[in-house]
Amino acid sequence: MGNPKYKISRTRRDKRRTHKVLTNPILSLCPECREPKMSHRVCPHCGYYKGRQVVAVQEI
């Protein structure tokens, strides 16, 4: 197993890790119920997708 020959500075280490970041999902408004939902997915609030009801949602 290889060991580092020289100490890696904090700057060099952090430059390598710049792409490891989490982003918030992009939300759009459902045209039926105006609730935020993820794009290209069935609305979890009303069950509509592309203008027609795909999933029956139970009211609690």
Sequential DSSP letters for 4-55: -SSPPPHHHHHHHTTT----PPPEEE-TTT--EEETTS--TTT-EETTEE-S
Question: What pLDDT digit, counting tens, does each position of 31-57 carry?
Answer: 999 999 999 999 999 999 999 999 998
Question: What pLDDT digit, counting tens, does each position of 16-25 carry?
Answer: 999 988 999 9
Going by the DSSP 8-state scheme, the letter that residue 2 receives in this structure is -
Q: Which pLDDT value is given to residue 2? A: 87
Asked whether the predicted pLDDT for residue 29 surpasses 80, the reply is yes
Q: Which pLDDT value is given to residue 60? A: 65
Q: Model-level pTM?
A: 0.60
Look-up of token digits 């490891």: 20
Domain residue ranges of the chain, discontinuous segments joined by +: 25-60
30 and 15 Cβ atoms separated by less than 8 Å: no
Q: Which residue has the higher pLDDT, 35 or 2?
A: 35
